Every structure is written in C-alpha cells, then in structure tokens.
Amino acid sequence: LIAGQNNINVLVDEAHGPHFALSPLLPHSAGDFDVDAWVQSPHKILCSLTQSAWLHIKGQKMNINKVMSWLELMTSTSPSYILMASLDLTRALMQDEGKELIEYTLELAQHARHQINKFSPFYCVGSEVVGKRGIFDIDLSRLMVNVSSAGYTGHMVQEILIDKYNIYPEYSDFYNVYFLLSFSNTKKDIKHLVKALSCFKERCKLKDLPKPPYILPNKVMKPKKAFFKDGEFLPLKDCIGRIIKKELILYPPGIPIVMPGEVLDKNHVEYILQILKMGGSCQGIKGNLICVVK
C-alpha cells in the first residue's frame, strides 16, 4: 500500500515458493497479491538445474523494455541454454502434472510428520501452529522437526544424521532440523528418515542456549568505503574494536550480525564463538580468521 501510494515498484523474493500456486494447502503465491514482480527459484523446490530462476512481471507498472535492458547489463552475453531448457521443461511439467505432483508431495510430508511424531522423541511442526506466535502460514511440503525439547540442538542431530545415516537435512539451527521433500521422494525415504530419528533417546532439556546481542553495532564508516579499504585477516578473538571489512553472517537465518564499516564488539565475538562451538556456521570466517580494515 505504501509503495503503491508512492509509485514504487514491489519486487518479492519468492525463491522457496515456486510451488505455492499449485495447491490450496500451501501459502498464497506473491502473484496473488498487489505486487509488480516476483522471483522464484524452481531449482530449490521443483526440478530445474541449480542457478536457474524465473522472473515474473505482472501489470503495466513495470516497463518490460527497461527490465530487459537491466537484465542485459547484469547477465552474461553467453547464457546457459542448458539452464534455460531446464526451466522450460520444469514449466511444462508443472503445467501438465504440477497439481498432482505437489499433492503427492504434501501427502508424503503429512505421512512423514505423523510417523516422526509417533515414533521419535521429536516434534514435527504442522498446520496447528498457524495463527500462533506470529506464524501467518506454513509450507506443509517441508518438515520442520523441533529437537530442542528432547535435549538436542539441531546442529547435533544434523551431524549424526549425516555421519551415521547418510541423511542430509536442508539445514539446522539450535532448535530445529529442516528437511526438504519433493515429488522425487518416496515412502522408502520417509521410512529411512523416521528410523534414524527414532534412534535418538530423549535427554534433559537444553539450557543457556546463546542469545543474540540486541545492541546494534557502531557504524563508523560507509560499507562501500570499508569494502575498498586495505584489509588484513586476524583471529576473531583479537578483533574487538576493529572495523569489519567483510560481513559476518550467521546461517541460519542468513542475516548479517556485523556489516562492513561497523565495529566488532565483545558481545558479538562471544556470541559468534558460542555459535561455532555448538556446531553453527558463520560466513565471513576462514578458519578462525576474519577480515578487518587495516
């Protein structure tokens, strides 16, 4: 509404939602709302090749000729016809069989949810959480398994699943492990996952999980200026009070904790070290070194 009143185009990042429009059980797609464009990554959920994406444009507000000019400036003069062919094949498959394939995926996910909740000490979240704790909607084709109430961090469970059972979750955090299902999965896959999760035994609930610092970093330099400054790599623990040159991003959720031009303080260092100690990851750290302005 605010963007429309000020004649500003609205572009939505819907990377993880190329399947939303194919089932009423899924959240609404961005195209159902008053937006001008939205981007989807069918390689994440559907079946196109990695690095391929769709850009959808709706209405007359955005000038198509200008959009094409921008794309020509940003993209290669030698595009991959393999990627483009995979996008078109995915589009054709979704047009012909998409609703049936997504319905199968949702049924498989619901079966997995029921089996996990029945046979493992963990809790697989379902539609019952919608409308609670600020949750507006949920993608039921994914499995979000809460493991913290059984005494584990998501990082612990993910590591064991990979090392012992050859199961690779999509990602994990302190509280949950996330699994991405598709119409390529089968009940045999679900049986293997449930069997692995059922081998975990309930433990005492976790205490004193790291909490992010709620004080914003002190910005002393514009990001562009910090980026072009000479830098040096130093141990993280030795960088308190130094200006960051390369952003530090905890994943998940993929949100920067300190940006270029900001000063790293003691609270940030302690929090990052706790995250790493408990199995988390931080982009911007190589070994135990980070890049600061020289």
| Cα distance between the two ends of the chain | 45
Half-sphere exposure of residue 288: CA atoms within 13 angstroms, side-chain side: 10
Q: Answer yes or no: is pLDDT of 277 > 90.
A: no
Express each pLDDT in 24-80 by its tens digit.
999 999 999 999 999 999 999 999 999 999 999 998 889 899 999 998 898 888 989
Q: Answer yes or no: is pLDDT of 141 > 90.
A: yes
The residue behind tokens 């830098």 is 231
252 prior amide bond cis, ω within 30? yes
Q: Does this chain's domain 98-197 share its CATH topology with 218-293?
A: no
6-10, 137-141, 156-160, 257-261: least confident range = 6-10
Q: Are 90 and 9 in contact (CB under 8 A)?
A: no
Structural domain spans, the chain: 2-83, 98-197, 218-293
Q: Quick one: pLDDT band at residue 205, thresholds 50, 70, 90? A: confident
pLDDT at 57: 95
Q: What is the homologous superfamily of the domain 218-293 according to CATH?
A: Orn/Lys/Arg decarboxylase, C-terminal domain (3.90.100.10)
Q: Which amino acid is at 205?
A: K
Q: Are 26 and 102 in contact (CB under 8 A)?
A: yes
Q: Answer yes or no: is pLDDT of 15 > 90.
A: yes
* Mean model confidence pLDDT for the chain: 94
Express each pLDDT in 209-233 by its tens digit.
788 888 889 999 999 999 999 999 9
Distance (Å, whole) CA 11 – CA 24: 23
What does the pLDDT average to over 121-135? 94
Q: Answer yes or no: is pLDDT of 143 > 90.
A: yes
- Domain at 98-197: CATH code: 3.90.1150.10
